[in-house]
Structure 1
């Protein structure tokens, strides 16, 4: 009889063996910690002098165990900030490096409480000072409800936050043109601070139409730019790279010339702030071929392909936006807003699906226990709150528009984005673009 072939199933898979080894090692470390903690407690009951030494040993062992047991927590905020060339939040902040940012405290569905809470976190973690513009009565009520009084008083005393009283604010469902009537609304006063040079950037999570209207009326458009565009940073499969998509909601119907201007604005921002040496510009379309698309795409493709001031990488299909093959993607505001809102739902839906499917079967149940933190990090990479806001490009000032439902995390992320744009002096190059456009027009 021929010898029996070895049963391949009898030998556990390498991944399973590694999982078992990892678990046993961490179990041993956990046991050491428990032993050290118990010893410290016993020593403390026997002799007061021994408490300090034993406690130190237990604390050191606990710290070492946490280092081994706890997975490396991915902080998308810091990763995003490093990608934007921003400050290292672990380093001490030099007050001389702090930049003033104007914040519309009344903008957003939950304002002003969560907006102020995000600002308080920002001045602790970022080299910023905040001029917080809001109505006095609602602000004081929110401070009392959230228990922020002591923290706010400390920040004001340290010169990190300055409260600026405003008049009646612009509602989330009011017409954009109401900013002309409510001259002392918080969004108008925040824009004026930038116009007057008292702030380097402005942030608002309010009515996006009103924010755009106020920016145009108060700050003005850059020369050579017909329509400002809202640019949002989308994640890609590379955690170190983001793609700038514009327009995502400012202009529902666009002309080919406007999309060309969006490409010029996005090219400068990607180069100066995202530190991409030569950004690859793409045009959202239904196919890669230049003959595909509607009339807007066909005419825009011709303009982008003939432009020498940036690298046009061709049409970008929907599946390629997050591929990392493009650094800037342009489209009309209707298409861009659909993309933005769709992406906002992906993180939570993806995690919900994985939570249902992963624990199925014995191996799935074991593996899911070890993957929970990885799944949370995946969700954070796709969570719009981790990115905070979108840039309004094309106005004469750094302006960041937040989501209407923004809370403290989103505000912190948006202020980080505002600081990065202001810190890299992106407006200088945008002004140079305007001057060059005027020269071409005159020539």
Structure 2
């Protein structure tokens, strides 16, 4: 017998706001969405940057603030927000040792100022001794270790006092899906009761657009319709997103209020031959079997041709017996890679409580279904290269 899994806390930082409520309001405001896009950071590409709120509430120690870059600070703040809503922030150590941590995150952040200092000192000189001296004097071990991806969870654990088990997933969009999937399955299977699960992504790092443009994925013409873009169709976006998920028994014992029920989390992958991603998604949809009239939040990337294939799959659910209501989020938030699935799960939790979606973000027929009340939201993500994930969030 599997156990019921509840969402009891959520935290979100996005290009539209420093918390979930501001982001949700921004999704209803075309002017806020237009203002979120930044075309000047690395022309001709567009990114969606996010700003951090005042840190003192959630990261009170200045040493902790200095030891983390924007990526890890975004994750730490979003995690603290989720814990606060779930009644776990500042809880007793015996409570926090029951909180397990599961994250999906990319490579560690470099300190760009230190890199520039070292490059200026070397100035083309092939001098290993000078490089070693610069690394010892300019790059503090605490700062360097804090930037490693496998210590993303470590920083959260240190700052917020979470002392249960910890696991980090790497691997772009699928990493975010698997972080949630493994936590969900462990709760269902009675292997654990309580998880803090999430991710973060910083699009405002100089190296990140370069890495994705090396593969030819970044959009140069923002006027291209979202669902009809070529391979170079992605606009990156910064985000931090965390959820507290736990068994119903755990939440009731703590007196925690459920925000929504997490009923399924699935993940698959393929070589992306024609029709393979659609077959994976169709199999996942059939396994979850959402009600007709459900809402769908898509983490579509904009990268062609897979986004066009995802569009075809979703349009069939809009016009078919499923009568789904679909919204992509990347046109307003950019694509946050590992964090995209988590971001949409947080938004799905809000949407299922509201019983309605934000207005259409594109003029495409896939978003043209009549608005109606719903009590289920399907969250989908098709990675820009690999990974097809799906989750079901339900109203309690």
Q: Normalising TM by the smaller chain, what interval?
A: under 0.3
Q: Larger radius of gyration, structure 1 or 2? A: 1
- TM normalised by structure 2 equals 0.26
Q: By percentage of residues, which structure has more strand?
A: 2
